[in-house]
Amino acid sequence: MQRAQSNPAAADNAYRRSKTATEKDSWAIAGPAFTMLTGRFDQELIDLLPQSLKFISHNGAGYDQIDAEACANRGSTATVGFVSPRLTITVSGIAVSNTPGAVNASTANTAIYLLLGALRRAHIAATALRQGQWRGSMGLGHDPEGKTLGILGMGGIGSALAVRAAPFGLKMQYHNRNPVVHPASNLLNVQYVSFEKLLRTSDIISIHLPLNNSTKGLIGRKEFRMMKDGVVIVNTARGKIMDEEALVEALDVGKVFAAGLDVYEKEPEVHPGLIRSDKVVLTPHVGTATLETVRKMEILVIDNVRSVLEHGRLLTPVVESRKSKLR
Question: Among residues 231, 229, 203, 207, which one has the least CA distance to residue 217?
Answer: 207
Q: Give the residue numbers annotated as catalytic, written as ranges.
A: 238, 267, 285
Q: How far apart are CA 316 and CA 327, in angstroms?
A: 8
Q: Report the share of the chain in percent with pLDDT over 90.
A: 69
66 phi-psi bin (left φ>0, alpha ψ -120 to 50, beta other): beta
- Which amino acid is residue 114, in one-letter code? L
pLDDT (tens digit, 9 = 90+) per residue, 3-31? 334 344 443 444 344 444 444 445 555 55
Q: How far apart are CA 128 and CA 109, in angstroms?
A: 25
The residues, ordered by sequence, that sit 6+ positions from 190 with a Cβ below 8 Å of its Cβ are: 151, 154, 162, 172, 173, 174, 184
Which carries the bigger pLDDT value, residue 1 or residue 312? Answer: 312
Question: Among residues 292, 315, 310, 322, which one has the least CA distance to residue 104?
Answer: 292
pLDDT band at 323 (very low <50, low <70, confident <90, very high): confident
- Which amino acid is residue 176, in one-letter code? N
Helix axes 156-165, 104-120, angle to 10 degrees: 50
Q: How far apart are CA 1 and CA 70, in angstroms?
A: 20
Mean pLDDT, to the nearest integer, of 55-81? 82
List the alpha helices (DSSP H) in the chain: 8-22, 32-38, 43-48, 68-72, 104-120, 122-130, 156-165, 183-187, 195-201, 221-226, 244-252, 272-276, 291-311, 319-323
Q: Report the share of the chain in percent with pLDDT over 70.
A: 80
Report the chain's C-alpha Rg in angstroms: 22
Is the pLDDT assigned to residue 224 strictly greater than 90?
yes
Mean pLDDT of the chain: 86
Of the listed ranges 200-204, 281-285, 323-327, the one predicted with least confidence: 323-327
Mean pLDDT, to the nearest integer, of 190-206? 97
Mean pLDDT, to the nearest integer, of 235-250? 98
188 exposed, middle or buried (CB, 10 Å; 0-12, 13-18, 19+)?
middle
Contact between 228 and 211 under an 8 Å Cβ cutoff? The reply is: no
Neighbours of 241 (CB within 10 A): 22
